[in-house]
Structure 1
Amino acid sequence: MTVLIDPPEWPAHGMLWSHLVSDASLDELHDFAAANGIARRAFDLDHYDVPDRSYDDLVAAGAEPVGGKELVVRLRASGLRIKARDRVRKH
């Protein structure tokens, strides 16, 4: 079981963002996020969006840094990935 994080490359709200996922379970992901002060509102069905300023601390806490493509491959392999077509748009 591993929590994964990709590099902060996704621009929004004047900063860059990373994705934090688990390759095993959402419980593991939620536990890791809570232990590291990430608000539940940052959860988006299969991942947490985390700001660039948190990246180094999350890696130090045990998140495995991986590239964005590898993160998606491993999330899909876990069975936890929510496909774009299955996402409900937030308004």
Structure 2
Amino acid sequence: MIVIDPPNAAGHGRLWSHLASDTSFEELHAFARELGIPERGFDRDHYDVPSEWYDAAVAAGAVPISSRELIERLVSAGLRRRKRR
């Protein structure tokens, strides 16, 4: 399932959502391509999506969930990729 959290991450003068899949990266990449999200928006285990694109992502089938639930789903699915330190 494709999920998206609310646009609450600030960066580069705007707010961002995180688009992820709790099934596979293949599903996530295919959904992002259909929406026209550039590949450069992929960050380890999710796509960064500007707030202006949130409604379009939901209209295309992304399920709105909390940021906490998004992380929990990635971890449960074994798809969470943490930043290297």
TM-score range for the pair, normalised by the shorter chain length: over 0.9
Runs of 4+ in 1 over 4 A off after TM superposition: none
Q: Secondary structure of 2:43's partner?
A: coil
In the alignment, structure 1 residue 18 sits paired with structure 2 residue 17: yes
Distance 1:10 1:50 in 2: 10
Percent identity, please.
54
Q: CA RMSD in A?
A: 1.0
What 5-or-longer segments of structure 1 have no aligned partner? none
The 5 Å alignment of 1:27-66 reads 27-66=26-65
**Higher Rg of the two aligned structures:** 1
1:75 maps to a residue whose letter is: L
TM normalised by structure 2 equals 0.96
| Gap runs ≥5 in structure 2 | none
Secondary structure of 1:7's match?
coil
Structure with the higher strand share, 1 or 2:
2
